[in-house]
A and B are shown apart, each in its own frame.
Chain A
Amino acid sequence: MTRNTPSLEHIRIEFACEEGALRRTLGVIEARGFSVRSMQMGSDGDRAVMTLALAPMDASRRIDTLLRQLDRVYAVENAIHLSNDTRVAEVVHVAHG
Chain B
Amino acid sequence: MNTMTQPLHSPQSQPATRTGAQLVVDTLAALGVDCVFGYPGGAIMPVYDALPQGTTRHILVRHEQAAAFAADAYGRITGRAGVCLATSGPGATNLITGIANAYLDSVPMVAITGQVPQTLMGTDAFQETDIFGMTMPIVKHSIIVRRPEDIPSAMAEAFAIAEGGRPGPVLVDLPKDVQQAVCEPGALRRPEADILPAPTSESIAEAERLIARAKKPLFYLGGGVARANASEMVRRIVEESGIPAVATLQGLGVLPPEHPAMLGMLGMHGHRPANMAVQECDLLIVLGARFDDRATGKLAEFAPHASVVHIDVDAAELGKLRFAHAAVCGNLKSSLATIDFEKGEIDAWTRSTAETREKHAPRYDAPGNGVYAPAMLKTLSERVGDDFVVACDVGQHQMWVAQHCRFSRPQAHLTSGGLGAMGFGLPAAIGAKLAEPDAHVFAVCGDGGFQMNIQELATLRRYQIPVKILLLDNAMLGLVRQWQELFFDGNYSEVDLSDNPDFVEVANAFGIEAFGIERREEVDGAIDRLINARGPILAHVRIDPEENVWPLVPPGKSNAEMMEKRHDA
A contact residues vs B (CB 8 Å cutoff): 19-20, 23-24, 27, 31, 62, 64-65, 68-69, 71-72, 74
Q: Kindly provide the distance from the CB of A70 to the nearest chain B CB, expressed in whole angstroms.
A: 9
B337 at the interface (CB under 8 A from A): no
Chain B, Cβ-Cβ closest to A18: B143
Cβ of B371 to closest chain A Cβ, rounded Å:
44
User: A23 — which chain B residues lie within 8 A by C-beta?
Assistant: 133, 136
Report whether A68 and B316 are in contact in the complex, using a CB–CB cutoff of 8 Å: yes
Q: List 10 A-B contacts (CB under 8 A).
A: A19-B143, A19-B144, A20-B132, A23-B133, A31-B137, A65-B316, A65-B319, A68-B316, A71-B316, A74-B141
Contact of A27 among B137, B141, B143 (CB under 8 A): B137
Contact between chains at B136 and A27 (CB < 8 Å): yes
Question: What is the 8 Å Cβ interface bit string for chain B, positions 308-333, against chain A (1 contact, 0 not)?
Answer: 00000011101110000000000000
Further pairs besides A19-B146, A20-B144, A72-B314: 15, Cβ < 8 Å:
A19-B132, A19-B143, A20-B136, A23-B136, A24-B136, A27-B137, A65-B316, A65-B319, A68-B316, A68-B318, A71-B315, A72-B140, A72-B316, A74-B141, A74-B161
The reply on B142 being an interface residue by CB < 8 A is: yes
CB distance from A26 to the nearest CB of B (A): 10
Report the separation of the CA atoms of residues A45 and B316 in the bound assembly, to the nearest whole angstrom: 29
Contacts of A65 in B (CB 8 A): 316, 319-320
- B133 / chain A contacts, CB cutoff of 8 Å: 20, 23
A23 CA to B134 CA, complexed, in Å? 11
Tell me the bound Cα distance from A69 to B136 in angstroms: 14
Question: Could you tell me the distance between the alpha carbons of A65 and B314 in the complex, rounded to whole angstroms?
Answer: 11
Chain B residues with Cβ below 8 Å from A68 are: 315-316, 318
A95 CA / B48 CA spacing, docked (Å) = 48
Residues in A neighbouring B319, C-beta threshold 8 A: 62, 64-65
Indicate the member of B136, B314, B315 with the most A CB atoms within 10 Å: B136
Contacts of B316 in A (CB 8 A): 65, 68-69, 71-72
A71 to B316, CA, bound (A): 8
Chain B residues within 8 Å of A20, by CB: 132-133, 136, 142, 144
What 0/1 pattern do residues 121 to 155 of B give for CB contact below 8 A with A?
Answer: 00000000000110011001111101000000000
- Tell me the bound Cα distance from A69 to B315 in angstroms: 8
Mark out the residues of chain B between 436 and 491 whose CB falls within 8 Å of any chain A CB in the assembled complex: none
Set of chain A residues within 8 Å of B141, measured between Cβ atoms: 74
Residues of B at under 8 Å CB distance from A? Answer: 132-133, 136-137, 140-144, 146, 161, 314-316, 318-320
Q: For B168, give the chain A residue with the smallest CB separation.
A: A72
Give A67's nearest chain B residue, CB to CB: B316
On chain B, the residues within 8 Å of A74 by CB distance are 141, 161
A-B pairs, top 7 by smallest CB distance, nearest first, are: A68-B316, A69-B316, A68-B315, A74-B141, A65-B320, A24-B136, A27-B136
Bound together, the chains give a CA A71 to CA B318 distance in angstroms of 13
Q: Please, which residues of chain A bring their CB within 8 A of the CB of B320?
A: 65
Most A C-beta atoms less than 10 A away, residue of B144, B316, B320: B316
Task: Report the minimum CB–CB distance from B81 to chain A (whole Å).
Answer: 16
Point out the residues of chain A lying under 8 angstroms from B144, CB to CB.
19-20
Chain B nearest Cβ from A21, distance in angstroms? 11
| Residues of chain B lying within 8 A (CB to CB) of residue A31 | 137
Q: Give Cα A31–Cα B314 distance, bound, in whole angstroms.
A: 18
Instruction: Tell me, in angstroms, the Cα distance from A31 to B135 when the chains sit together.
Output: 13
List A contacts of B136 (CB < 8 A): 20, 23-24, 27
> Could you say which residues of chain B place their CB within 8 Å of the CB of A27?
136-137
Task: Give the distance to chain A from B102, nearest Cβ to Cβ, in Å.
Answer: 16
Instruction: Report A-chain residues with C-beta under 8 Å of the C-beta of B318.
Output: 68
Among A23, A62, A72, chain B packs the most CB atoms within 10 A around the CB of A72
Within 8 Å CB of A19, what residues of B? Answer: 132, 143-144, 146
Complex Cα distance, B146 from A24, in Å, reads: 19
Bound-complex Cα distance A62 to B141 (A): 24
Which residues of A have CB within 8 Å of B161? Answer: 74
User: From residue A64, how far is it (CB to closest CB) to chain B in Å?
Assistant: 7
Q: Which chain A residue shows the least CB distance to B329?
A: A68
State how many angstroms separate the Cβ of A61 from the closest Cβ of chain B: 11
Q: How far is the CA of A71 from the CA of B314 in the complex (A)?
A: 10
Alpha-carbon distance A55/B205, docked complex (angstroms): 36
- Shortest CB distance B515–A (Å): 47
**Which residues of B sit under 8 angstroms from A64, Cβ to Cβ?**
319
B154 to chain A, nearest CB (A): 11
Distance, CA A10 to CA B314, complexed state (A): 24
CB closest residue in chain A, given B144: A19
B315 / chain A contacts, CB cutoff of 8 Å: 68, 71
Contact partners of A24 in chain B: CB under 8 A: 136
Q: How far is the CB of B246 from chain A (nearest CB, A)?
A: 25
Looking at the assembled complex, report how far the CB atom of B37 sits from the nearest CB atom of chain A, in whole angstroms.
Answer: 25
Closest Cβ of chain B: how far from A93's Cβ, in Å? 27
Q: How far is the CA of A37 from the CA of B485 in the complex (A)?
A: 45
Taken together as a complex, chains A and B put the C-alpha atoms of A64 and B136 apart, in Å, by 22
Q: Closest CB-CB distance, A24 to chain B, in whole Å?
A: 5
Which residues in A have their C-beta under 8 angstroms from that of B143?
19
Closest to B146 in A: A19
On chain A, the residues within 8 Å of B142 by CB distance are 20
How many whole Å from B556's CB to the nearest CB in chain A? 15
